């Protein structure tokens, strides 16, 4: 492996594992040169790769700073969760991560290769201020992910858990949106009238693992919390 890629991968893993957190400053080019016995050109190429992959940004007069990677993915979210995180947001596991069958509920087609693998599924209810606003189901192939069944999510975030514990990153997504009438289960969980309109969002998150995609089916009560453009599991 080329030297700059090896250094990039080393720094990337430290970011994924939380050794360098969001807003932290990475070693300077001079420090990297001293640490790895490399040239400034090699150090700069390693940092440029991290910029290209969205892990860091360069700030004038400061240096290379770890950034929040999901800002650039263009995924869907419910506006209100990101703004309310830390105050009055609650996530309730209705079904904790476990090996279950792939479901016909998944709207975006699952590949045949994935269907041959065991499936991890979990179901959660997302609430703001005690008010349920989203029912969320997620499925993914259980490849190299046994730890998901044994440990709690890091900071209650599935994406952060994949990154820190499994070095798997979200790289993009596909989505489908449709308006539907709430059935008995959805109306009961979201505390709305049966038959009331809900937003149904189907998502396929692509990851850096070639054999793992995340399939999500979300049912949202958007009366109070409109849809934005950055959803994180």
CATH of the domain at 60: 1.10.10.10
Tell me: do 85 and 106 sit in the same domain.
Answer: yes
Rounded Cα distance between 169 and 111, Å, is: 19
pLDDT digit string (tens) for 10-37?
998 898 888 898 899 999 999 999 999 9
Q: Please tell me the predicted confidence (pLDDT) of residue 87.
A: 59
The reply to whether 134 falls in a domain is: yes
- Residue segments in the chain with a per-residue pLDDT below the cut of 70: 69-87, 225-233
The residues, any chain, with a CB within 8 Å of residue 226's CB and separated by 6 or more, are 78, 79, 80
For 201-233, the DSSP string reads EEEEEEESSTT-EEEEEEEE-TTTS-EES----
| Cβ(41)–Cβ(195) below 8 Å | no
The reply to whether 209 falls in a domain is: yes
Which neighbouring-strand residues pair with 137? 123, 217
Domain that holds residue 50: 3-67
Q: Please tell me the predicted confidence (pLDDT) of residue 205.
A: 92
Angle at 94 between CA 92 and CA 99, to 5 degrees: 125
Rounded Cα distance between 185 and 128, Å, is: 19
CATH of the domain at 197: 3.40.1410.10
Give backbone dihedrals phi and psi of 175, rounded to 5 degrees, phi first. Answer: -145, 150
The reply to whether 233 falls in a domain is: no
Tell me: do 116 and 28 sit in the same domain.
Answer: no
pTM (two decimals): 0.77
């Amino acid at each position: 492996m080329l030297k700059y890629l090896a250094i990039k991968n080393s720094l990337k893993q430290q970011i994924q594992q939380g050794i360098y957190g969001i807003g932290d400053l990475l070693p300077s080019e001079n420090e990297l040169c001293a640490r790895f016995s490399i040239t400034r050109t090699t150090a700069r190429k390693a940092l440029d790769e991290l910029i290209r992959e969205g892990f860091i940004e360069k700030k004038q007069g400061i240096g290379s700073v770890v950034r929040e990677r999901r800002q650039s993915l263009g995924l869907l979210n419910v506006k209100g969760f990101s703004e309310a995180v830390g105050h009055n947001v609650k996530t309730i596991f209705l079904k904790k991560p476990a090996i279950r069958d792939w479901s016909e509920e998944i709207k975006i087609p699952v590949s045949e290769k994935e269907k041959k693998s065991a499936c991890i599924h979990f179901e959660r209810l997302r609430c703001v201020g005690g008010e349920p606003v989203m029912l969320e189901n997620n499925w993914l192939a259980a490849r190299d992910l046994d730890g998901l069944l044994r440990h709690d999510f890091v900071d209650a975030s599935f994406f952060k858990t994949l990154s820190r514990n499994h070095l798997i990153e979200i790289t993009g997504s596909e989505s489908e949106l449709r308006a539907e009438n709430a059935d008995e289960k959805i109306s009961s969980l979201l505390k709305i009238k049966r038959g009331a309109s809900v937003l149904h969002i189907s998502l396929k998150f692509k990851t850096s693992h070639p054999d793992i995609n995340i399939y999500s089916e979300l049912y949202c009560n958007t009366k109070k919390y409109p849809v934005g453009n950055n959803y994180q599991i």
